[in-house]
Structure 1
């Protein structure tokens, strides 16, 4: 089995191995909305029905992501810790949603991270692809570079 997002790659492999191409469609809109809401409202004590304006915005976002489950999960995570209507509208209006690309959706998830967390992820570009990291070494490097700041309640390694 070969998976790809590019029709040309699918056709090339289908011709090469003499098999048919099976094109998967996105989730139905209501399923996609349910998935996005399950991530956006995870851990919220009040059910999503208590956030009518946010639910409307979520529905508008779902129309833009065309049934992509990955996009629904990523955007739900972006929305999760900020139930402010302005934040949700900003995500809805992001030009990255209109590009209909998984890379754009993932970029949106990166952009809304706090700067220190962005630095932690950007740090990985210094290493070759598929580099194996030791978790404890990685945490010590992030601390040494100042990406993780100690707090009064937790030591840096726990953060």
Structure 2
């Protein structure tokens, strides 16, 4: 894939996502920045990127609306969030353990918890790639960044 064309140039959270605390809004902004900064993203059977991605929530489903950089519609995909609920819940639990461990655990304990955290994050990233298979081509690092954004959508602060 040619990185300059097969990428996201913008990611927007639609009003259906709702706003949250300043901390959560900051985390969302960082997740979007990281995703835009480095990604590989190509809707299947479309070769005219870069792309804009608008995320919204409708009836507990994640809607990914993809347009060209100029705003022409490319594709819309609707994903049930059900397959992500357990993963996100587990991810938040292990992140909480990680932040607690940083204060009092040994380096080897912190490292073990962090390995678990990364493993759950990888599981969520792979689930996202699987759910978008045949719809959007992306590399694993892009799926990781997009999964981070999905997690931040759940986070209420």
Asked which structure has the greater RCO (Cα within 8 Å, sep 6+), the reply is 2
Give TM-score, length-normalised by structure 2.
0.24
Bigger Rg over Cα: 1
Give TM-score, length-normalised by structure 1.
0.24
> Which structure: greater helix fraction?
1
> Which structure: greater strand fraction?
2
